[in-house]
Structure 1
Amino acid sequence: EDLISTLDSKTDAQIKSSLLSVQSLVGSFSNYFTFLDNGLGTITHNDVTYGTHSVSGNPVGGGVGYTDIYTTGDYIVTNEAELRAALSQAVSGEVIFIPGNVIIDIGDASAYSFTAFSVPEGITIASNRGYVYQDGSVSTGGMIRVTAVVSRCLFTVSKDNVRFTGLVLKGADPAQHLNHWDRCFAGESYDYSWQLDYYYFYCLYNTKGISITGDYCEIDNCEISGFCSTAISVGYNSTKSAPSQGHQFHNNYIHHNQIKALGYGIVFGEGYAVIAENMFNYNRHSIAGGGSINSGYEACYNVEFGQSLASYFDMHGGQDHNAGNAYAGGYVNIHHNSFLGTAMPYSLRGTPYLYQNFDYNILYMPYTSYSYRLYTAYEGIVPTNVYIGSNIWNITNGNVTPMDGYPH
């Protein structure tokens, strides 16, 4: 209110500073713009680039400037019935397009129900997020909005070569549910007899976005939020009796998927993906895995705005998956990311079956502020296949000099 009432007397720099303060207060973008404007979101040292930056030529997080924006398709849909009809008729190679000014509401909120969408092989569901119209206005992308809180996926993808691009997918539950967690687990001990525990915890519906078990799924230039359990999940391809593979999740803004205990931006059962040039915020784990040795991900050129209930990236292991071993996934390769908050960049929860790399990243805090969980697995074991390379720590105090390894 103060900014608006005194707008005429402020300079451009003062207005910019005030707006950044408002954004920081609201928390939608946390530390991102502060460091971006100070040249600390990406740092070049001795001709080596650290942190998030675009290698594709597209903006990190998508939006204005994205080069592959659809403006039409083989089917133009504006409501749920038309979308379901198009999915039942479309054949491989066809595009279902949702105009940028359209909001498609899914489900009956009062009845706590909706029917999931199953996407056929080779289909693209698209809108025009980031498209600049002739009058200069910008499309935020056609929205598919779930109004029913239900433990069900919005989209199931069991076929190959499916693409979601330029869309806004908005779930019904962006909350952390901290009070619900406390009712279940507060004062947790080895004697669970007096606690409500997981049975009660899962009485709360866990909303989900896109469930993928087919191969070669691409999700790009989308905004995905409000799915308290997980926005994107990757699982076993039962048709091929193998982990799903070849997925590309890039140039998206994925945020507010964050119920305590779950709350994943992208989560892996058995499958593999490259996760690049995304913006993340307000996810409990922006990327996580169940710990199967038949899973792995490369996370690169992403930015974490700073808000999270737990480590930003993750791979379960050891005691987490009760598989009788200490393995924490097949591989994890984390490089050229900017972690702009105080949470752990990742937590080592076991021994990777193949390897884990962490290099060319930018981190908010000094390395001394992070715990042994960066390099030590369960039961004090220091794996020999975990590599911490050259990273820049402590940008909150202006450091721009890389450090090799991790003293411990």
Structure 2
Amino acid sequence: MEFSQYDIDALMYVTNRPELVFTEGQGMWLTDHQGKRYLDFLQGWAVNCLGHSPQCIQDALAAQSKKLINPSPAFYNEPMVELASLLTKNSCFDRVFFANSGAEANEGAIKLARKWGKLNKNPKGESRFEIITFKHSFHGRTLGTMSASGKAGWDTIYAPQVPGFPKADLNDLDSVVRLINEHTVGVMLEPVQGEGGVIPATREFMQGLRELTKRHNILLIVDEVQTGMGRTGELFAYQLSNIEPDIMTLGKGIGGGVPLAALLCREEIACFEAGDQGGTYNGNPLMTAVGVAVLRALLAPGFMESVREQGAYLSTGLQNLSAKHGLGAERGEGLLRALDLGSEIGPKIVDMAREMGPVGLLLNSPRPNLLRFMSALNVSKEEIDQMLTMLSEIITRIKA
């Protein structure tokens, strides 16, 4: 089938897309409308934590769709309750609110923090509402989460921004201290800045931030939309630093490919009243049944150890590739990794990798001098080796 047979003009333009249509996916592999296969190190931007169309998600969708799809969030349903219980039993949090996207979960976290700041006023009796976020951070594409983000240029696209999000520098505790004032209610950060270039917060910074926020009686909010659900080699990235935040958001991996997200908090922070928060599809049993299947897979004996092992293997492979071609450093946590290319050849690599034949390779370049790798968490060493071989071939061709 030729690409021209598809009516792409029916879609609103929001991004540049290559002239191919994906029709099937299995594990680490995608197939397009012409039957060409691609080794996928994007996985929907770290969404497909178990790869494309894993059996456990197929089974969960098939079984739940025959029972109950959406009774309305005004009622309890079994998968919603089961997933919430699994999440709280395996984290430091007590309460869960389900949403449909990471941005929606982050928007909910902002609302929850501001509501808490209204109830826990400053010494002058005023509500606290400011949330310190970080330069180069990414929290979503709603007006509120874009304002919270530190992505360059986002302060003017839909100006004026939502006020109340002063920006600090990641891994610089003094920059946070300077921004704390009588209206500060919390600090919000990604344990690893994904869109910002896979920049991890150090263990010392996370621990210092937890001590600082406790001392000032302000909330610590971790945006784990990209780092949560096993991506960093722990179930949640905050566990790498041995701290307990007040609020956490999840997205991407929690649904393994279906629209699902979550907002979690400690009991004393759960201050929403009836009508404060909601959503037509939130916590629907079809999506939360998938969430249960995904989380049970991640909690299986040996799974997290395997993620750490494969992450170390990928890290070593990227270091060897860099040494071979004279590139920059690699960095990251678990199976969220990046390679500094030393020059702005990232977009060219992405295009050449996709257009390779007979098998293509899907990569991401969040910055022109950087590649980001977001494989499925159950990627094999053979698939990592195949990706590294293909990438080496492309770099050789570019440098020639």
Shorter-chain TM-score: what band? under 0.3
Q: Name whichever structure is richer in helix by fraction.
A: 2
Taking structure 2 as the reference length, the TM-score comes to 0.28
Taking structure 1 as the reference length, the TM-score comes to 0.27
Q: Name whichever structure is richer in strand by fraction.
A: 1
